[in-house]
Structure 1
């Protein structure tokens, strides 16, 4: 069994406490106590509680940026890229659900320097998605005259807000939910000609509703 370092124990503990009580509901002493570390150990690894919050935020947004970047780089057509962007978000609902919760409920508490660093990565994710949508329009796969920023934010919000209601014990798995997202989005954006092209591809997958 791998023994976690003091730094990792502090991050994991802070993540759980911030998710449950909010950033301002948790003091450094509580993090130290719950993580089984010391004040010296805390300040050896982190300059402040603000830096700890930044690290949690950066872990999530860096993962999201990496996944979107790989989807764009490793796929050829806009349809394939957008489908993979949506499907790559499956881990967000499970492994990164606590990070998402803290990210969205506590991001306004980041000091300006940290807030700007996180905002730059968040904007890169948004821009990558918008670029894929614009590419789809330019190549005739997506409907013309789509309001790209609105469509991009709709997709961004649809995926990222799932943490609010997703239930791992519910009737649909995280993988099934993102298949539904991909199918819904592509059917909304693709031209009729493009739909025929992709009709029998794995980019259109149906998830059956659970039997009552």
Structure 2
């Protein structure tokens, strides 16, 4: 098996140690000892332990933000843009579950410029989803009586909780879970006009139920 580059090995080691012992319970010395490098190797890749924590947070937040931007650019309707964004958001809990777990455990220790950079990306992501929903309300696909801001926070809150219960060994794939989320969200937001869009059927559960 190909050996991971040193930077990735440091990240993988830190993820395990932070999850087990907490951010302040782990030293740089423990990280380098565990992954078989030196402090010189560590500081060649990260200025500090704080920067390492920032990088762990930034990996998955940058992923979902980039995917949301791609969804907006590559799809033509608010429904398809929102559903593609929900799919990529859900997928992150399969791709980056250890990163997200550490984020929720240790995010209070992210301060200064590192916190601001992460917060700016989270805010941009939220605003992009709000924009998708408002555009759907403008063209008549989404219900106007449901506020876009509250709908957005409900979507983010519901999907964020996936990190607590999703398991790769569980009965449902991450793709199946994303489909369930899209079905729930669309049935909450769509107008009668929106339901008539043929593309909507690509994001709804079929008549055959998914077994859990």
- State if a TM-score over 0.5 links the two structures: yes
Does residue 26 (structure 1) correspond to residue 36 (structure 2)? The answer is: no
Aligned counterparts, 1:180-199, within 5 A: 180-198=180-198
Matched, 1:163 2:163: yes
Q: Is the 8 A contact 2:80 2:199 kept in 1?
A: no
| 1:67 aligns to 2:67 (yes or no) | yes
Q: Are the aligned partners of 1:198 and 1:204 in contact in 2 as well (CA < 8 Å)?
A: no
User: Where in structure 2 are the equivalents of 1:12-91 lying within 5 Å?
Assistant: 12-91=12-91
The 2-side partners of 1:125 and 1:71 are apart by: 12
Determine helix, strand or coil for the equivalent of 2:37.
coil
User: What TM-score does the superposition give when structure 2 sets the normalisation length?
Assistant: 0.93
Deviations 1:150-208 (A, max 9, x none): 11011111112201111222221111001000011001100012112348731223362
Which residue in 2 is equivalent to 1:210?
211
Paired residues, what number? 211
Partner of 1:106: 106
CA-to-aligned-CA distance 1:43-79 (integer Å, 9 cap, x gap): 2221110010011111111101011111111111111
How much is the aligned-residue C-alpha RMSD, in angstroms?
1.7
2:147 aligns with 147
Structure 2: state its 5+ residue gaps.
Answer: none
5 Å matches for 1:125-144?
Answer: 125-144=125-144
Task: Spell out the pairing of 1:115-126 with structure 2 (5 A cutoff).
Answer: 115-126=115-126
